[in-house]
Structure 1
Amino acid sequence: MALVRGGERIGDSLVVDRMLGEGAFAEVHRVEHRHLGRLAMKVFKRVTSEAETHDLLGEARLLSTLGHRNVIRLFDVGVLTTAEGRRGYFTMEYVPGGTLERFVAAHRPAVPTDVAAEVTAQIAAGLAVAHGQHPPVLHRDLTPANVLIGYDGAGLRIRISDFGLAVRADPVTRLAGAQGTYAFMAPEVLRHGGYSCAGDVWSVGVLAYVMLTDHLPYDDGTPFAPHRHVRFRRPLLPPSRYNETVDEELDRIVTAALTVDPWQRTPTARELGDALAARRVRAPAPAVTTAEPGPGAQRLVADAYALARTPGGLGRAADLLEEAIGLSPRLAGRHAHTLIRWRRGVVL
């Protein structure tokens, strides 16, 4: 049973619309703010006091004030009463396109190579802001569920979310304690060596590898426990072994981010982003090979175009169209330019 329900009012300004998803630690709901419009609200399953919630989100609030386009914006933090008792929550910007997890699933067997490279570059750009703090702020839980896919007036736009595990590194050692998800943890973290900027880079490398291959790195197809570091004794197959559209330079960039020895790995998100910028290809991305849009996505498109013709409906229309593309990326080829125009406030 969900902690909050559709139609429920939270304080003076929020009304719950519907659940967007949940994980082990929290539920995410779409809510309507009286002044700000649609937002996303994360309700923690185990954090019960406002002080704990503020502590958990301290670094996330810091990063959100920097205003980087690839870091999710947070708006408010508080505590609400649920059927399970008092629970902490925070509100953040709503991204209709959904998570990278859904994006990858919709593109199987692989995200188009240049699209995957652009997504990776934007993740690196947002993470570089955190790594550039003094001392660095480490995310420690970069997974496909914590990266959001959307569009704005400039095109595809990625936001890193869930800085809830983020923490400042020790100013001397530049390390932090281990947290996060086993399959995306660097080898040295699994060996209790602590997190560093290079540990976050490893996680970005795993995301890129999964987008390009639909496999985890250092996985030869035999069963393994993701928390056991014995798997890192296997040679890393470059992404091009699974996906012939991956070029030699992108192979090199991704494998450098996945070097087992952290001292030999790409050390920071900024350097990873610089390498991807140098490699960037201006040619259009390859054609998307996803399934035909389902009836749900097609219905959202129809509703979006109808809403765009109503006074004041353009923002909501753009949200619906972005949600449809999130469900079926093949629609991007037909409607992405329209969505970008709508985000700019232009209707033709």
Structure 2
Amino acid sequence: MGMLSEGQRIGDHYEVERFLGQGAFAEVYRVRHRFLGRQAMKVFKHIGSREATEELLGEAILLSRIGHPNIVRVFNADIVETGSGRYGFFTMEYVPGGNLADFWHSHGDRFTRIGEAVQILRQICEGLAVAHGERPPIVHRDLTPQNILVGYDRDELRVRISDFGLAKRTDLLTGLASARGTLAFKSPEALRYRKGDSTAGDVWAVGVIAYLMLTDTLPFHDVSSPVAFFGTPRNEPPPSPQLRNPEVDDELAGIVLGALEPNLRHRTPDAARMGERLRQWHNGNARQ
């Protein structure tokens, strides 16, 4: 049973319509705002002092405040009192259509079409690049297909990055943030060091997402291994996506492998750089 129930009133403006899903840190509900209509509400499971809850909310909406078509818009952040305690929540735009995992699985046994996959990846990079361009940069730290929302805007595919509960500004001097997130999408350095997340770590996660869409498999199969927590099996590049999907050309394979380069110094450093490479690939193929 969720923390909130259908029909429950939250403050003066929100009514809970239904439970949408949950992760390790929060539950998500579809709600209706009294004046603004349907929205999504993310409620954090952590119960703590008001100060701790407010700090959690501050980090949760850090990236969303920037404002970009490929970043989910956040409308409000507050605290709700329930019978089981005090919870922080924020409301954001409701995107019908599901997430990238749903979109990818909808293809069944077929790979995601190359052009469609590149369009999705470009939009992810465009939204993420705005965060990486902050000074100091903001890193997402938990990019997965589950928190990439896929919808349509005037019949055009539109991607929005969501789930910013782990977003954090990097240290001004080191460019790193404490490592958090989903194991299968974490870079080798984030698994080895407690402060190993960076813009290049977000790029690694985009590379894993790209590999999944293009090959229907993860680039590394170490997620159940204890040594994975130290990044040991990820010291070598994965097999080229071309080996699993012959429709992937040399240039696109190079972009994906550049994002999945184990050596941090040789990896594509940020989302803007990866997005530019994807744009060049698109332009080159559009002229053919």
TM, length-normalised to structure 2: 0.91
| Equivalent position of 1:131 in the other structure | 132
| Equivalent position of 2:24 in the other structure | 24
Identity %: 51
User: Residue 51 of structure 2 aligns to which amino acid in structure 1?
Assistant: A
| 1:178 equivalenced with 2:182 (yes/no) | no
| Equivalent position of 1:187 in the other structure | 188
SS at match of 2:121: helix
| 1:146 equivalenced with 2:147 (yes/no) | yes
SS at match of 2:89: strand
How far off is 1:223 after superposition?
Answer: 6.9
How far off is 1:66 after superposition?
Answer: 2.8
| 8 Å contact kept, 1:49–1:87 | no
Q: Equivalences for 1:1-348 in 2 at 5 Å? A: 1-109=1-109, 110-153=111-154, 155-192=156-193, 194-219=196-221, 224=225, 226-280=228-282, 281-282=285-286
| 8 Å contact kept, 1:3–1:83 | no
User: Residue 286 of structure 2 aligns to which amino acid in structure 1?
Assistant: R
| 8 Å contact kept, 2:143–2:206 | yes
**C-alpha distance in 1, partners of 2:51/2:92?**
19
SS at match of 2:149: strand
User: Residue 67 of structure 1 aligns to which amino acid in structure 2?
Assistant: G
User: Residue 257 of structure 1 aligns to which amino acid in structure 2?
Assistant: A
SS at match of 2:61: helix
How far off is 1:67 after superposition?
Answer: 2.1
How far off is 1:227 after superposition?
Answer: 2.9
**C-alpha distance in 2, partners of 1:234/1:168?**
29
Unaligned runs of 5+ in 2: none
**C-alpha distance in 2, partners of 1:53/1:254?**
38
Higher alpha-carbon Rg: 1
| 8 Å contact kept, 1:125–1:273 | yes
Deviations 1:110-139 (A, max 9, x none): 221111111111111111000000010111
Deviations 1:285-327 (A, max 9, x none): xxxxxxxxxxxxxxxxxxxxxxxxxxxxxxxxxxxxxxxxxxx
How far off is 1:194 after superposition?
Answer: 1.4
**C-alpha distance in 2, partners of 1:65/1:86?**
24
How far off is 1:81 after superposition?
Answer: 2.6
User: Residue 112 of structure 1 aligns to which amino acid in structure 2?
Assistant: R
| 8 Å contact kept, 1:48–1:88 | no
Question: Against the structure 1 CA distance between its residues 24 and 66, is the aligned structure 2 distance closer, same or farther, given a 3 Å change threshold?
Answer: closer
Unaligned runs of 5+ in 1: 284-348
**C-alpha distance in 1, partners of 2:82/2:163?**
22
Deviations 1:25-75 (A, max 9, x none): 111110000111110001111144553343223255343333210111111
SS at match of 2:126: helix
| 8 Å contact kept, 2:237–2:262 | no
Deviations 1:121-178 (A, max 9, x none): 1111111000000010111111111111111126111111111111111111111111
Question: Against the structure 1 CA distance between its residues 32 and 49, is the aligned structure 2 distance closer, same or farther, given a 3 Å change threshold?
Answer: farther
| 8 Å contact kept, 1:72–1:159 | yes
| Equivalent position of 1:313 in the other structure | none
RMSD: 2.0
Question: Against the structure 1 CA distance between its residues 188 and 82, is the aligned structure 2 distance closer, same or farther, given a 3 Å change threshold?
Answer: same
Question: Against the structure 1 CA distance between its residues 104 and 227, is the aligned structure 2 distance closer, same or farther, given a 3 Å change threshold?
Answer: farther
Question: Against the structure 1 CA distance between its residues 279 and 119, is the aligned structure 2 distance closer, same or farther, given a 3 Å change threshold?
Answer: same
| 8 Å contact kept, 1:53–1:89 | no
SS at match of 2:79: strand
